[in-house]
């Protein structure tokens, strides 16, 4: 369970493009050891928010602290204590997976047990392969391994399971939970409601640059029901994804 202590504190955060606040004075806390999800329609401001937290975009107003460090005034320090998986990460096509992990670690002035990291993401047999030889699910697992080379305190994942098949998505959820259980705080964005519900300890829902609500998935659903919400149709006991998984199995295919 997440510790109640906040590891990320966001206060009145603003990003302005062309005179418009695309992130409009948002405030929230992420607790140590939780998986915190940011949901919202296209253009809501999720990636912009994430990239300000990651010290990748300048902050136009407000403050962010991670583990007590102010992001705007100490961006280099922040980059040393976080791991970042962007929506599309580019890798080197001339280095094997093992070589790339060692190279990434060296960028932090560290050494890494590349084989242990590859084992953690079930890519032991691909240590000598190149990224272009990996399936989509394997690439995402490798991307996550690459974010762990500096032993981060907080891991940021931007739409980590987009484009993956159901088996690979579930496998990645297990990996993300495992990383959380080892004590790393995870902040992710997603467009998948099942992912948000099953994976995230707490969720922030964003729209038009603002946070509309923050709570656990369970509490958000209970609050909707308490407002009198009813579905018109009885929910089926199974859905097409259940059929797909039942017929094709849970094992990952890549």
Ligand X SMILES: Nc1ncnc2c1ncn2[C@@H]1O[C@H](COP(=O)(O)OP(=O)(O)OP(=O)(O)O)[C@@H](O)[C@H]1O
| 33 binds ligand X per the rule CB under 6 A | no
CB of 72 to ligand X, least distance (A): 18
Stretch that binds ligand X, among 6-14, 36-44, 94-102, 136-144 (CB under 6 A): 36-44
CA dist list (Å): 227 to 51, 211, 254? 34, 19, 44
In order of 23, 163, 211, the CA distances from 46 in angstroms are 8, 18, 10
Q: Min. distance of Cβ 37 from ligand X in angstroms?
A: 13
Q: Least distance (Å) from ligand X to the CB of residue 78?
A: 19
Residue 38-77 contact track with ligand X, rule CB under 6 A, x = bound: --x-xxxxxxx-----------------------------
Please say which residue, 46 or 120, places its beta carbon nearer to ligand X: 46
- In the complex, least distance from residue 127 CB atom to ligand X, rounded to whole angstroms: 33
| The one segment of 24-32, 37-45, 78-86, 146-154 that binds ligand X by CB under 6 A | 37-45
* Of 38 and 112, CB closest to ligand X: 38
Binding-site member from 7, 10, 13, 22 for ligand X (CB under 6 A):
22
Beta strands in the chain (DSSP E): 6-17, 20-31, 35-39, 61-66, 69-70, 82-85, 154-158, 185-189, 202-207, 210-215
Closest distance of CB 155 from ligand X, Å: 18
| 3-state secondary structure at position 144 | helix
CA angle 108–113–114, rounded 5-degree value: 85
The strand pair at 20-31 and 154-158 is best described as unpaired
Sequence-distant (6+) residues with CB within 8 A of 47 are 87, 158, 189
The footprint of ligand X (CB under 6 A) covers 17, 22, 40, 42-48
């Amino acid at each position: 369970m997440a510790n109640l202590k906040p590891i990320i504190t966001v206060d009145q955060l603003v990003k302005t493009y062309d005179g418009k606040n695309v992130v409009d004075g948002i405030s929230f806390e992420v607790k140590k050891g939780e998986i915190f999800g940011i949901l919202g329609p296209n253009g809501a401001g999720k990636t912009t928010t994430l990239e300000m937290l990651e010290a990748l975009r300048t902050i136009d107003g407000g403050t962010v602290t991670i583990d007590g460090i102010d992001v705007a005034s100490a961006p280099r320090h922040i980059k040393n204590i976080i791991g970042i998986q962007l929506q599309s990460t580019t890798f080197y096509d001339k280095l094997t997976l093992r070589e790339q992990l060692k190279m990434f670690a060296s960028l932090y002035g560290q050494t890494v047990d590349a084989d242990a990291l590859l084992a953690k993401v079930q890519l032991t047999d691909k240590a000598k392969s190149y990224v272009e030889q990996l399936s989509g699910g394997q690439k995402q697992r490798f991307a996550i391994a690459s974010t762990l080379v500096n032993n981060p305190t907080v891991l940021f994942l931007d739409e980590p399971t987009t484009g993956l098949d159901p088996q690979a998505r579930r496998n990645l959820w297990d990996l993300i939970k495992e990383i959380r259980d080892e004590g790393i705080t995870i902040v992710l964005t997603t467009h998948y409601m099942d992912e948000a519900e099953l994976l995230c300890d707490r969720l922030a829902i964003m729209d038009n640059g603002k946070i509309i609500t923050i709570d656990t998935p369970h509490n958000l659903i209970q609050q909707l029901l308490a407002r009198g919400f009813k579905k018109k149709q009885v929910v089926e006991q199974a859905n097409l994804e259940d059929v797909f998984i039942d017929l094709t199995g849970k094992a990952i295919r890549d």
